[in-house]
Amino acid sequence: MFTSRMLIALTAVAAPALAATYSQADSFSGHGFLSGFTHEANPDPTHGRVNYVDQTTSMAKNLTFATGDTFVLRADDTTVLSASGPGRDSVRLQSKKQYTTHVSVWNIRHMPQGCATWPAVWEVGAHWPNKGEIDILEGVNDAGANRVTLHTNAGCTMPDDRSQTGNSVGNNCDVAATGNSGCGVQATSPNSYGPGFNSAGGGFYAMERTNSFIKVWFWSRNAGNIPSDVLHGAASVNTDNWGTPLAFFPSTSCDIDSHFGPHNIIINLTLCGDWAGAAFGADGCPGDCISYVNQNPSAFSDAYFNIAWLKVYQ
């Protein structure tokens, strides 16, 4: 006889497999980024030498460009700036929708590179840092590989021993205790960021957020192990088949549900600022960051994102 106790047992066995399967909820490509995201023409919270512009200005100056399966976001690369005037025109996009438990998969062909650049693909909640921040793709001045980072309020730390391919850079995610650095994981592959990423034709980034963990994966464009559902932007994905992630943030000593709220997705390019400006000289860049940005517009000819698509699964 098939009893209720047997049904409960079968459900418990099936649940872990089902939990890793997600269905596509949103797809952004080309003009979809213009309709699904808002241009945030606000002062840069990281104090960069940029002037974030609205959508009308951005499109008129070709700082955002959309067609077919191509979306480009760039900084101005033609204007010499006055030292007393606003920063270099650039773009910060924020998704109109918010997400909690979800998977995002990014197909990126090119990312901004060059001294002074600080590009990022990330997610953040309201009342920072109380609803958390997840940095999926981020770095500065072409220095090193990608860094995946969580930023939270107090009470969120990560264990030393966890299953990931990247190297931990601090295990306390509390911004107040770490000078805003949070808890990061550094990729080991040079093709995960900047010139190395671009030389390989870009690649795929994926992030899975649940109440039990946050994971981020990276596959270079020509890698032989790109999961089929990632490669083709399938209607559903199964993260159990994606192997060991680049970064793994378990809830062992961090209640993810209470530290991370509804998140907007953000794509932005700032210049100098709290990180890129502070590390400018140490990263081998010439002179001072602000003067470099003001006087060298042609240095930013490669400071652009070219994104094929973003898929969000729930």
Q: How far is CA 120 from CA 134, 147, 167, 234, 268, in A?
A: 10, 10, 19, 25, 6
Contacts of 96 (CB under 8 A, 6+ apart): 36, 37, 38
Active site residues: 133, 138
35, two tokens:
């309709």
Whether the CA torsion 53, 56, 59, 61 is positive or negative: it is: negative
Sign, Cα dihedral of 181, 230, 27, 69: positive
Q: What's the token pair of residue 163?
A: 């299953």
φ/ψ of 269, rounded to 5, equals: -130, 110
Distances in whole angstroms, Cα of residue 272 to Cα of each of 2, 185, 278, 284: 65, 22, 8, 14
Distance CA 129, CA 149 (A): 13
Q: Are 303 and 269 in contact (CB under 8 A)?
A: yes
Alpha-carbon span 96 to 102, nearest angstrom: 16
